[in-house]
Homo-oligomer: A and B are copies of this chain.
Amino acid sequence: MASSSSLSISQAIVAGALNHRGSTNSSDRLPLRSFTIPTFSGLKSTTSAASCPSRLGSARRRLCRRLAVQAASVETLEKTETTLIEKSVNTIRFLAVDSVEKANSGHPGLPMGCAPMGHVLYDEFMKFNPRTPTGSIVIALFSLPDMDACFSTLCFTLLATTVSGFVHFLNFLWELALYVFGSLCGFAKEEDLKSFRQWGSTTPGHPENFETPGVEVTTGPLGQGIANAVGLALAERHLAARFNKPDNEIVDHYTYVILGDGCQMEGVAHEACSLAGHWGLGKLIALYDDNHISIDGDTEIAFTENVDLRFEALGWHVIWVTTTIGYGSPNKSNSYSVHGSALGPKELDATRKNLRWPYEPFHVPEDVKKHWSRHVPEGAALEAEWNAQFAEYERKYKEEAAVLKSLINGELPAGWEKALPTYTPESPAEATRNSSQQCLNALANVLPGLLGGSADLASSNLSVMKQFGNFQKGTPEERNVRFGVREHGMGAICNGIVLHCPGLIPYCATFFVFTDYLRLP
């Protein structure tokens, strides 16, 4: 069983593309079929690098190629120069499986299937300084009271998902990343992984950003992650448009998000993805973990839509591959049984044999440790580089730098509250939405991070900041966000915006009756 496909990755990339209502013939859009990565049903060492679309931006093209190469190299299991990577990927797999086994609770299926995908991103794409999880350039898994870092790096939103149908948090990739960055880079400890899901540990099964240092987004029910990610990507696009200079692109990072079959089914995900396409958030990259398994069985039971065609309709570029849940487990892979329970000693043993993994639980081979340790000096250099870039920015653009810094740090301007209108019992009576509008517009003058809008009710609930235009594909520096009739997506996107940096203050508006559509954002 395990000799079948180990890795396949689905990547859906938002087009920085065209408004194409009623038309699929966009010169800015890549033909759907021309860059589909083969699904690697066999063990051929095939690279699909050549199939990566030439029109994609360089970072996306590079990721596309690496995912393809990685797919091939890990699948072949040949004793080639890829052996170290294979070993590193299996390290991640077994750290995850061992953690679940020790806790006798957790979700081993996704990490076994998605380990190569995470490996490519963590090891090759994300820029971070593992020595400074707070106050560094890492936004990945690690919270950033000082968010400077975020602005010079890839922004990895680990709003993970295992299979459809369950509350999805970061449990898999949390395990994975915690160990890889913890044990190998030194700011998290092996003990954290060994106490996974134990009372009082910092590694609960379902992390919360306000409970566990290093978790930047508390994800919730399916579909929230991708919607939060749209908010994070919106924030990057907005800040880049406002603060970048021709000689200094101080805000410049990608947002990656992993979503699964279940996330795809949720309406909130559709709402957010439709908006992402509309806004042309080309630096949002979604990795679709299509393992074809849901809690009720094969996803064919309830989910047979043509996902790539749908995303093309929403304005996304789509690259399609698939993953295998529980890869490596001879008797449980590709089945629901590997989703949310420990493998059990017998199957774990069989999996070790199957993947030729002779080590004790929680073991990290020395060469793998050495491989990862390079991120320490590299990360320090990246942080120093960005800090120098910001110093240069500050020197040349003093005023903008001060505002950007206040947004990053979440500092409100002194005396901002004085801008608010004063009401007394003698004030003439007026509709509360009028008062709301007056306050909103007064605050918009003094709070540089205020942005937001309504779910197509702006003229009714008076939620427009009159001094600004609309945040749109061509005008991302503007601050009125038009969410359309998408209450649920609106709420989740606003959560993503505020999580990007504390000085961005999103607001959203609808009628009270529709707050029920907005729950659990």
Contact = CB atoms under 8 A, between A and B. Distances in A.
Contacts of A221: 513-514, 517
A503 interface: no
A230 to B, nearest CB: 13
A170 B269 CA distance: 28
Given A262-B485, A294-B485, A516-B520, A456 B309 contact: no
Contact of A456 (B165, B278, B517): B165
A315 B308 contact: no
Interface in A227-283: 261-263, 265-271, 274-275, 277-278
Interface string A320-344: 1000000000000000100000000
Contacts of A265: 271, 274, 456, 484-486
Nearest to A295: B456
B486 A267 contact: yes
A294 B484 contact: yes
Interface residues of A, number: 72
B310 A314 contact: yes
Contacts of A401: none
What number of copies of this chain does the assembly contain? 2
Contacts of A294: 456, 484-485
A21 interface: yes
A162 interface: no
A203 interface: no
A470 interface: yes
Contacts of A314: 305-306, 310
Given A165-B455, A221-B514, A304 B315 contact: yes
A21 B306 contact: yes
Most buried by B among A269, A304, A519: A304
Of listed A167, A303, A320, residue having the most chain B CB within 10 A = A303
A493 to B, nearest CB: 12
A233 to B, nearest CB: 16
A459 B310 CA distance: 29
Nearest to A269: B267
A406 interface: no
A429 interface: no
Interface string A462-493: 00000000101000000000111111110000
Interface of A: 19-24, 164-167, 221-223, 261-263, 265-271, 274-275, 277-278, 294-296, 299-310, 312-315, 320, 336, 454-460, 470, 472, 482-489, 511, 513-514, 516-517, 519-520
| CB-CB nearest 7 A-B residue pairs | A267-B267, A302-B484, A165-B456, A516-B519, A309-B313, A310-B313, A262-B485
5 contacts: A21-B305, A165-B455, A223-B485, A267-B269, A513-B520
